[in-house]
């Protein structure tokens, strides 16, 4: 039987790092594909126990259980969401047990988006421990956007 911890003692070999990167790419690609097809079981299976999903709104910090409820309101009606990755960067820890990533995404409603997060290797399977979906704001528009947000929900002193 393959012993991942023994194989990574002293750092991850280039071969194991490349294999891990391919598996992580597969997880993230399937995560987005499941969302586009409103496949709740497949989508949610990519989250690790205790995972957190951070949405675009400041109030959207969901445990995996809370996020499952949110997802159900859409997926149970056959409504998914499509985020198409155009670029992705993955970093794998030296021991090969965790990884973090960021990706450029395109969405018909929101336009250019960014996904970032962390994955953990559990039982030989990569699972998402945290996913953060953001909408990058061009710096020259930041002041106007901040003003709009403040008008909607004033900052408490």
Mean pLDDT of the chain: 92
Let me know if residue 40 belongs to a domain: yes
What digits encode the pLDDT tens for the residues 46-75? 999 999 999 999 899 999 999 999 999 999
| β partners of residue 115 | 103, 133
Q: Is the pTM of this model over 0.75?
A: yes
User: Could you tell me the two tokens for 116?
Assistant: 């970032």
In a domain, 134, yes or no: yes
Report if residue 157 sits inside a domain.
no
- Give the domain range for residue 30: 4-152
CATH code of 98's domain = 3.10.450.50
Does residue 20 fall inside a structural domain? yes
Cα 97–chain centre separation: 17
pLDDT-derived band at 10, boundaries 50, 70, 90: low
At 153 the three-state DSSP class reads coil
- pLDDT at residue 34 is higher than 60: yes
Q: What is the mean pLDDT of residues 77-106?
A: 97
**Total domain count for the chain?**
1
Q: Is residue 85 part of a domain?
A: yes
- Average of per-residue pLDDT across 105-120: 98
- The phi and psi torsions of 140 (rounded to 5 degrees) equal -70, -10
């Amino acid at each position: 039987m393959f012993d991942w911890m023994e194989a990574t003692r002293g750092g991850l070999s280039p071969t194991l790092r490349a294999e891990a990167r391919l598996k992580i790419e597969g997880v993230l690609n399937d995560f987005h594909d499941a969302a586009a097809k409103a496949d709740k079981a497949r989508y949610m299976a990519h989250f690790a126990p205790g995972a957190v999903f951070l949405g675009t709104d400041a109030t959207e910090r969901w445990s995996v259980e809370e996020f499952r409820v949110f997802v159900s309101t859409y997926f149970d009606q056959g409504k998914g969401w499509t985020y198409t990755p155009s670029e992705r960067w993955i970093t794998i820890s030296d021991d090969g047990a965790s990884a973090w990533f960021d990706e450029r995404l395109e969405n018909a409603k929101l336009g250019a988006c960014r996904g970032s997060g962390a994955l953990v290797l559990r039982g030989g399977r990569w699972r998402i421990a945290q996913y953060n979906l953001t909408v990058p704001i061009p710096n020259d528009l930041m002041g106007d956007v901040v003003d709009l947000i403040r008008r909607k929900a004033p900052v408490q002193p």
